[in-house]
Structures are given as structure tokens and as C-alpha cells.
Amino acid sequence: MASSLFPRCEVVSWSAFYDLARRLARQVYDSAYRPEVIVAIGRGGYVPARVLADFLGQMDLASFKVECYDQVHKQHRARVRYPLAADVTGRRVLLVDDVADSGETFAVALAHLNSRGVPAQIRSAALHYKVVSPYVPDYYAQKVVKWRWIIYPWAVAEDVGSFLRAMDPPPVDVGEAARRLDVEHAIRLPHKVLVDLLAMTLPARNPAIP
């Protein structure tokens, strides 16, 4: 049933994320690139950048926000919402995001980064690189050949909640929500997580859901 209306998804657990981040950090380290500042592209790059900073022993961590998606719905164009405050002039930069998908986010981010100074060098890193992306990060932990929407552990409520709100008619109980998420999006979540999501995303539409 995969379609633009019902995108197939992959839910990344916290442990799977940490393994991807560890592999990504090892790639950077083994390449002998030693960033002097790690810059996260918000919001998706915040957590990966922090973990990379930990592995690489880099205390200088900065960020700026690029908006490209409204939950799972793509906006018309990417834009910088909150600019980078750090001066990157003369410094080796590692630019980090969670995924390279359309390539727009990295394109806008690189242009913005270069507008904040003249870095000595910029390299980029992402947990996932989708082959549909025209931009290929310098480092990536996993290549995605068959496109799917990737749900990271820090965005489960946001992404799955948008799917639940879009269901018409809304699910009558947790069991129905679980079945429809599985069939329409290949999403399987622990029962307690789904209970919380339903309670916080659909309370007004169906008071019977706890």
C-alpha cells in the first residue's frame, strides 16, 4: 500500500541510532579529519551532532535551524530560521544532519555556513544518505537505496502523531491504530508508546481513547 498518501516508514530505535552515530564518528576519526567545531543543522542534526561531539572529543558545538518539513509534509523550499551565531572563519567544520533526502537542507545549510565566515574546510555527515539525494555527505552511516520515511527516536510523537491525525475516520482504539499504522506505513510501536500518542494527539476526536 505504499504511496505518497501512505509512505512506508522505518522507525529507528534509540539503540539503533546510537550504533549509527558510533559508526559515523568512527568514519570521521578514521579519515583523519579533525573538526575544530561541529555544527548541527536543526532540528534533525541536534542529537547526532551531540553524540559525534562526544565520540570525537570536540567541545565546540554550534547550531542553526533549517526548516524544510512541516512534520512529514514538505514545504515548498528550505529556509534558515535561526542563523548560526558562531564565527567559523579559519576553522575546520563538521556539518551534521540526520538524513540527506532531497539535498535541499544541506544546500541551504552550506550556503548559510559560508555566509558566516570563511571556514578553512567544511565536511558533512549524516546518519542516512538516500540515493535520491543529489547531495552526498562526506560521511554517512547508512545508504538508503529504497526510499522510505525515516522516523528517528526524537521525532516519534511528531511524525506518527501526524499520521494518526490524518486518519479519517480516526481510530476507535489502540488496537485499530496499531493495525492501520502497520498496514499503511509499516510502523510498529510498543503498546505503551501508542497509548501515549493517542492520548496526546487525538483526545478531542475520540474521548474513548485513554
As a CATH number, domain 14-146 is 3.40.50.2020
Q: What is the pLDDT of residue 74?
A: 52
Instruction: Name which of 138, 125, 36 is nearest 87 in CA terms.
Output: 36
| Residue for grid cell 552511516 | 141
Distance linking the first and last C-alpha atoms of the chain: 29
Higher pLDDT, residue 204 or 114? 114
Per-residue pLDDT at 2 exceeds 70: no
The pTM for the full model equals 0.89
> How many residues does this entry show for the chain?
210
The proportion of the chain whose per-residue pLDDT surpasses 70, expressed as a percent, equals 90
Contact 37, 88 (CB under 8 A): yes
Return the pLDDT at 120. 97
**Does 52 score more than 50 pLDDT?**
yes
- Which of 23-27, 41-45, 77-81, 105-109 bottoms out in mean pLDDT, i.e. has the lowest? 77-81
The pLDDT tens digits of the residues spanning 106-128 come to 999 999 999 999 999 999 999 99
Domain definitions of the chain by residue range? 14-146, 151-201
pLDDT value for 190? 95
Picking from 124, 106, 139, the residue whose alpha carbon sits closest to that of residue 31 is 139
Q: Is 30 exposed, middle or buried (0-12, 13-18, 19+ CB in 10 A)?
A: exposed
Residue 127 and residue 24 in contact, taking contact as beta carbons nearer than 8 Å? yes
